[in-house]
Amino acid sequence: MPDLRVARTTLSLFGCVEAGGTKFVCGLGTGPDDLQLTHIPTTSPTDTMEKVIGFFREAGSLSAIGVGAFGPVDLRSASPTFGFVTSTPKVDWKDFDLAGTLQRALDVPVGFDTDVNAAAAGEARWGAGRGIPDFLYLTVGTGIGGGALVNGEVIHGLLHPEMGHIRIPHDLKEDPFPGCCPYHFDCLEGLASGPAIQARWGVPASQLAPDHPGWALEARYLAFGLATWVCTLSPQRILIGGGVMQQTRLFPLIRQELLRLLNGYIQVKAILQDIDRYVVPPQLGSRAGVLGAMVLAEHIYRNPSARIGAPLAGADAWR
């Protein structure tokens, strides 16, 4: 461990926030080896933000803050509601100005993106996406979300990708569970998120027996998603994290299903021969989101003229 007291005199101190539905993970530091974390429960915006702001005020002078947030969020830089959480089912947080609240209270530049885009940025910089300009980061937890790096930049597009809400084949005879997405019922998230596993089988995913047929079904559903993204985004690697993927036995099942679904059509060595290195866990584990938020902070600090949340310029921004 380097002497961080010395390092910090020359490096910028960044604040980072992974804003989640159950907790805000707040970090202070200069990089992965110098990161002090605190967890603040997600209650009302007033209460939660007061604690978050208090944590950063105690730190003294910050160069910038980065936020990776649960969404949907508004990332359109010209929008009057840029930096807001928008249509979330969490009613208290609907239309809440998350980035602006931090910026006004702390008077520092705030970089802002979705939680999964931030995690992808973190993995690109320090994790399993290093040196790979086109990869996909997927999380399978309370929800399912994906962040894609294409040519070294995360995709925003019209809003931002909502990969968990794609449609996948659902054989109601084999799996009569109707799905639990409040918008689409049996979209991917509605069929394969942690809450979907619990609702279908009546036990939390963490307690479903290792030999339960539910795992094969889960792997198949996730592989449907992966096959879609292989054929649309053509990622050079796919990282899958989130609470459900703590069941590491899913990885070989997903790889096998993905190969079966693609059926030899995508003729590349990475898939045909090196699938074990193609579909992998993230390397930053539970710190991917908060470290990704640090990448957002660093980016806005280095590009002060960029409107917060403006598209990141070039692959070098991530490395």
Residues binding ligand ADP (CB under 6 A): 20-22, 141-143, 194-195, 198, 204-206, 242-244, 246-247
Q: Which does 184 bind (CB under 5 to 8 A by kind): ligand ADP, Zn ion, none?
A: Zn ion
Is residue 233 part of the contact set for Zn ion (CB under 5 A)? Answer: no
Q: Is 205 helix (H, G, I), strand (E, B) or coil?
A: helix
Which of 219, 262 has the CB closer to ligand ADP?
219
Is residue 187 part of the contact set for Zn ion (CB under 5 A)? Answer: yes
Q: Which does 111 bind (CB under 5 to 8 A by kind): ligand ADP, Zn ion, none?
A: none
Residue closest to 194 by CA, chosen among 73, 68, 22? 22
Which of 64, 205 has the CB closer to ligand ADP?
205
Which of 116, 154 has the CB closer to ligand ADP?
116
Helices and strands, number each (H, E), in the chain: 11, 12
Q: How far apart are CA 100 and CA 92, in angstroms?
A: 17
Nearest residue to ligand ADP, using CB? 194
Q: Least distance (Å) from ligand ADP to the CB of residue 13? A: 26
Q: How far apart are CA 227 and CA 74, in angstroms?
A: 28
Q: Least distance (Å) from Zn ion to the CB of residue 46? A: 29
Residue closest to 236 by CA, chosen among 267, 265, 263, 271? 271
Binding mask 63-92 toward Zn ion (x if CB under 5 A, else -) reads ------------------------------
> What is the Cα 33 distance to its own chain's centre?
21
Residue written as token pair 């802002």: 112
Look up residue 48 and give its amino acid. T
Q: Which does 165 bind (CB under 5 to 8 A by kind): ligand ADP, Zn ion, none?
A: Zn ion
Is residue 195 part of the contact set for Zn ion (CB under 5 A)? Answer: no
Q: How far apart are CA 85 and CA 313, in angstroms?
A: 24
Q: How far apart are CA 194 and CA 150, in angstroms?
A: 28
Site for Zn ion (CB under 5 A): which residue of 23, 51, 165, 212? Answer: 165
Is residue 222 part of the contact set for Zn ion (CB under 5 A)? Answer: no
Q: Cβ(44)–Cβ(61) under 8 Å?
A: no
Q: Least distance (Å) from ligand ADP to the CB of residue 309? A: 21
